[in-house]
């Protein structure tokens, strides 16, 4: 997508909001449901666009920005495992320049000298499912999927059936060692599995078929019954580690080779390079061999080799600063765009979806692609009946990249001016890219989407209540508002005997719903579907307020403050909302909650209908408090200012350390500052700190605070 960047804050904020929702949707399809509907290339394009806009408008980065999120929540039928160390994701590079920039960032962050070389490892990025294998005293005790990065699924029993994974490591390995890597399926095994599933199916038309090897691996690993996993040809490669009691080497390459010597497979294409140029050459070699490889790969991963540097580089919100995935370009094919359908989302957004004549792109049959919005259709000039170029990357379905010449004249696609579901006006607000249905609560499609959101994996995560069931229960008025879900137990008899529902499945559903009467505050807040309150903001709010009572007391105070301000109104509505947003945000006192979120939150709770929905829910539920874990130190919760030059680390590294310890870093000294860390050459800030009587320490003092943190 090479569309020009937005020009104004309003345009940028609108597009970032759209991208956050869209990327979250695709994350859910990909990670939780194993049913992706767009290609990796398409997905990457969305993420890149998001990144480009965030770079140009850094003050507009959202709390629920995709750049701060990883993956999706775990499936409910498997036990949950909280990772001892988060399982993160990787930043992407799409060309050599991105890779060189990565190395330059590393050099800057570490404040390296001109002669220091950044050695790296390079290995293929395999298209599988990441998995963490925990060995204690050499024995495999736990295996978990990535899940949302913090909490994954317990797949120990299933993993024990994978021949590549040893149950026991040799004598002398560290007491605790978590090997991380990828569970995958070879291309040939994938084709044979699909053929077998087809042959075994009673009705071939309904046979389960996997779209690609990654989905087959994910579906096979996340089985309830390990016997099913055992019958699937899964393989494993290590590419890193999590919690360890000791490390067998001080470089990435050294530790990987030790893991290999313990009998765990690595990629045979893992190499060590003194400089990035060698890694780029390796990329080209692998790219040339890609089609012949017996498994799917979608790029090459580079990792800074020195572990002491990895440690200092640390992580940004979702990925390590010391690694990057250099992606391969996408594969392309031509097909016919049969039709453009419109789907209505939770917030009324109308999304055009392209229906395609089935076409094979890089071995996968593709039938749909999202067209994002009206602008995208116009930019492409796409009309039903056109021949189009579709592309997909290492994985799944596609993106339309180009419309080919049109032989006969076809009418242009006209974006509907009414909601296809409820018939309300569909409007595009000024500065927004999206066209929305204005039907709000009268629009059945929006109401169904909200209910789906409420029970979705990232929200209340109610197993057995899928998208289809929600729609059919809604149509039959069994569920009209979220609290009705908890009242389904009173309608057990009506449920039994519905198509696809028998006594056991109904009882299982009721049990799954009952289990969620106790849900943590962050999930509850996210489930409400408040505009601008994504998972990250919901978590921030839940950490700040801990209990639903404290949260509601804050909301009550915020609503009072709004009401008082309204009394004094004397300016235009826009300006007034901005001022009010600032005041309300100050009152909410939660990092990451700015005026926009503050207004969205109070807008939501100012609506009597929403208050009623929440009260109704609280009569059914017991919301669990959320406890915030931080690395305790003497600067936790304090405001720190760094000034002067730092000699052993860059400013970014210092800031990252402070944030890890729960401190806030500010650029200027004020009465709110608790501590100033001053290096040589510190000037006016140091003087101001002295005037205000603020504690000042040097870089060595700072290092000892970091060393003494828990
Ligand atoms: S390193 C801290 N190396 O790609 C994250 N990941 O997009 C370390 N993957 O979650 C990951 N091949 O599941 C790494 N050679 C490789 C990989 C690889 C595939 C997966 C992994 C990761 C995802 C990130």
Q: How far apart are CA 698 and CA 184, in angstroms?
A: 50
DSSP labels, 374-410: HHHHHHHT--TT-EEEEEE-SSS--EEEEE---SS--
CB contact at 8 A, 106 and 322: yes
**Which residues are designated catalytic?**
125
Q: What is the structure's pLDDT at 77?
A: 65
Q: Which of 23, 90, 264 to mutate to test the pocket of ligand 1 (most atoms within 8 A of CB)?
A: 90
In the chain, what are the domain boundaries? 9-63, 80-327, 521-624, 639-708
Q: What is the pLDDT of residues 648-685, one digit of tens each?
A: 888 878 887 887 888 888 888 988 899 999 888 888 88
User: Quick one: what percent of the chain has pLDDT higher than 70?
Assistant: 94
Angle at 508 (CA atoms; ends 504, 510), nearest 5 degrees:
115
Output the six-digit token pair for 48: 């890149």
Q: What is the structure's pLDDT at 332?
A: 83
Which ligand 1 atom minimizes the distance to the CA of 124?
15
Which residue's alpha carbon is at the smallest distance from atom 13 of ligand 1? Answer: 130
Q: Please tell me which residue, 500 or 386, carries the higher pLDDT value.
A: 386
Which residue's alpha carbon is at the smallest distance from atom 10 of ligand 1? Answer: 89
Output the six-digit token pair for 234: 């899964």
Expressed in angstroms and rounded, the spacing between residue 215 Cα and the centre of ligand 1 is 16
Which residue's alpha carbon is at the smallest distance from atom 15 of ligand 1? Answer: 125
Q: Which residues line ligand 1 (CB under 6 A)?
A: 88-90, 123, 125-126, 130, 146, 182, 239-240, 301, 320, 323, 325
Q: What is the pLDDT of residues 41-51, one digit of tens each?
A: 677 788 888 88
Q: Do domains 9-63 and 521-624 have the same CATH topology?
A: no
Q: What is the pLDDT of residues 53-95, one digit of tens each?
A: 887 887 777 766 776 654 444 455 678 899 999 998 999 998 9
Which residue's alpha carbon is at the smallest distance from atom 12 of ligand 1? Answer: 125
Q: How far apart are CA 354 and CA 336, in angstroms?
A: 10
Which residue's alpha carbon is at the smallest distance from atom 23 of ligand 1? Answer: 89
Q: Which of 130, 150, 213 to mutate to test the pocket of ligand 1 (most atoms within 8 A of CB)?
A: 130
Expressed in angstroms and rounded, the spacing between residue 60 Cα and the centre of ligand 1 is 29
Q: What is the pLDDT of residues 396-419, one digit of tens each?
A: 557 888 898 776 788 889 999 999
Expressed in angstroms and rounded, the spacing between residue 115 Cα and the centre of ligand 1 is 30
639-708 domain in CATH 3.40.50.10190? yes
Q: What is the pLDDT of residues 21-32, one digit of tens each?
A: 888 777 666 655
* CATH superfamily of domain region 9-63: Helix hairpin bin (1.10.287.610)
* CATH superfamily of domain region 521-624: 5' to 3' exonuclease, C-terminal subdomain (1.10.150.20)
Q: What is the structure's pLDDT at 460?
A: 94
Q: What is the structure's pLDDT at 72?
A: 45
Expressed in angstroms and rounded, the spacing between residue 304 Cα and the centre of ligand 1 is 14
Domain 80-327 in this protein, CATH class: alpha beta
Q: What is the structure's pLDDT at 174?
A: 97
Q: Please tell me which residue, 202 or 412, carries the higher pLDDT value.
A: 412
Q: Over 90: is that where the pLDDT of 629 sits?
A: no
Q: How far apart are CA 483 and CA 517, in angstroms?
A: 10
Expressed in angstroms and rounded, the spacing between residue 317 Cα and the centre of ligand 1 is 16
**Side by side, which strands form the sheet with 129-136?**
139-145, 129-136, 176-184, 235-244
- pTM of the full predicted structure? 0.57
């Amino acid at each position: 997508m090479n569309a020009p960047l937005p020009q104004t804050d309003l345009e940028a904020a609108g597009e970032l909001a759209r991208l956050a929702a869209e990327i979250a949707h695709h994350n859910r399809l990909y990670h939780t449901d194993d049913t992706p509907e767009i290609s990796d290339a398409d997905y990457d394009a969305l993420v890149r666009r998001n990144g480009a806009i965030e770079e140009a408008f850094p003050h507009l980065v959202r709390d629920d920005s995709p750049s701060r999120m990883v993956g999706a929540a775990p499936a409910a039928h498997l036990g949950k495992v909280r990772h001892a160390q988060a399982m993160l994701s990787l930043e992407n590079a799409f060309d050599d320049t991105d890779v060189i920039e990565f190395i330059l960032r590393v050099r800057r962050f570490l404040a390296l000298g001109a002669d220091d070389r950044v050695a790296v490892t390079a290995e293929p990025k395999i298209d599988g499912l990441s998995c963490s294998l925990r060995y204690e005293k050499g024995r495999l005790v736990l295996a978990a999927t990535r899940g949302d990065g913090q909490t994954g699924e317990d797949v120990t029993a299933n993993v024990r059936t994978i021949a590549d994974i040893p149950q026991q490591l040799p004598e002398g390995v560290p007491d605790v060692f978590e090997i991380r890597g990828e569970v995958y399926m070879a291309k040939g095994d994938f084709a044979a599995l699909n053929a077998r599933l087809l042959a075994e199916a009673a009705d071939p038309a309904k046979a389960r078929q996997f779209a690609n090897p990654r989905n087959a691996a994910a579906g096979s690993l996340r089985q309830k019954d390990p016997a099913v996993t055992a019958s699937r040809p899964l393989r494993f490669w290590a590419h890193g580690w999590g919690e360890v009691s000791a490390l067998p080497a001080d470089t990435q390459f050294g530790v990987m080779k030790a893991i290999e010597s313990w009998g765990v497979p690595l990629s045979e294409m893992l190499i060590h390079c003194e400089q990035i140029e060698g890694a780029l050459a390796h990329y080209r070699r692998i790219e040339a061999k890609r089609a012949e490889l017996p498994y799917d790969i979608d790029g090459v991963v580079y990792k800074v080799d020195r572990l002491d540097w990895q440690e200092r580089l640390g992580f940004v919100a979702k990925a390590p600063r010391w690694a990057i995935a250099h992606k391969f370009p996408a594969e392309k094919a031509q097909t016919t765009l049969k039709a453009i359908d419109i789907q209505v989302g939770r917030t009324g957004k109308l999304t055009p979806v392209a229906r395609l004549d089935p076409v094979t792109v890089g071995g996968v049959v593709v039938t749909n692609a999202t067209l994002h919005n009206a602008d995208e259709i116009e930019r492409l000039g796409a009309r039903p009946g056109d021949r189009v170029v579709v592309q997909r990357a290492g994985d799944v379905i596609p993106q339309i990249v180009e419309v080919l010449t049109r032989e006969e004249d076809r009418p242009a696609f006209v974006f509907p001016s009414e909601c296809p579901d409820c018939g309300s006006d569909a409007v595009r607000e000024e500065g927004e890219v999206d066209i929305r249905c204005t039907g709000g609560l009268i629009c059945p499609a929006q109401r169904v989407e909200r209910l789906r959101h409420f029970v979705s994996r990232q929200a209340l995560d109610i197993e057995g209540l899928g998208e289809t069931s929600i729609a059919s229960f809604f149509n039959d008025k069994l569920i009209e508002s979220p609290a009705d879900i908890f009242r389904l137990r009173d309608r057990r008899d009506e449920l039994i005997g519905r198509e696809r529902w028998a006594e056991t499945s109904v009882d299982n559903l009721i049990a799954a719903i009952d289990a969620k009467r106790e849900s943590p505050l962050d999930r509850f807040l996210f489930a409400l579907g408040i505009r601008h309150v994504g998972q990250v903001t919901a978590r921030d709010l839940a950490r700040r307020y801990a209990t639903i009572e404290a949260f509601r007391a804050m909301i009550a105070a915020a609503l009072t403050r709004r009401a008082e301000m309204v009394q004094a109104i004397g300016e235009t509505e826009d300006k007034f909302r901005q001022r009010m947003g600032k005041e309300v945000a100050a009152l909410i006192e939660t990092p990451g909650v700015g005026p926009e979120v503050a207004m969205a939150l109070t807008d939501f709770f100012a609506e009597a209908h929403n208050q009623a929905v929440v009260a109704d829910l609280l009569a059914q539920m017991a919301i669990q408090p959320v406890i915030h874990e931080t690395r305790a130190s003497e600067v936790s919760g304090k405001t720190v200012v760094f000034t002067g030059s730092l000699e052993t680390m860059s400013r970014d590294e210092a800031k990252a350390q402070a944030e890890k310890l729960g401190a806030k870093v500010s650029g200027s000294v004020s009465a709110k500052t608790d501590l100033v860390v001053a290096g040589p050459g510190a000037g006016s800030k140091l003087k101001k700190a002295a005037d205000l009587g603020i504690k000042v320490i040097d870089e060595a003092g700072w290092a000892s605070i970091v060393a003494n943190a828990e």
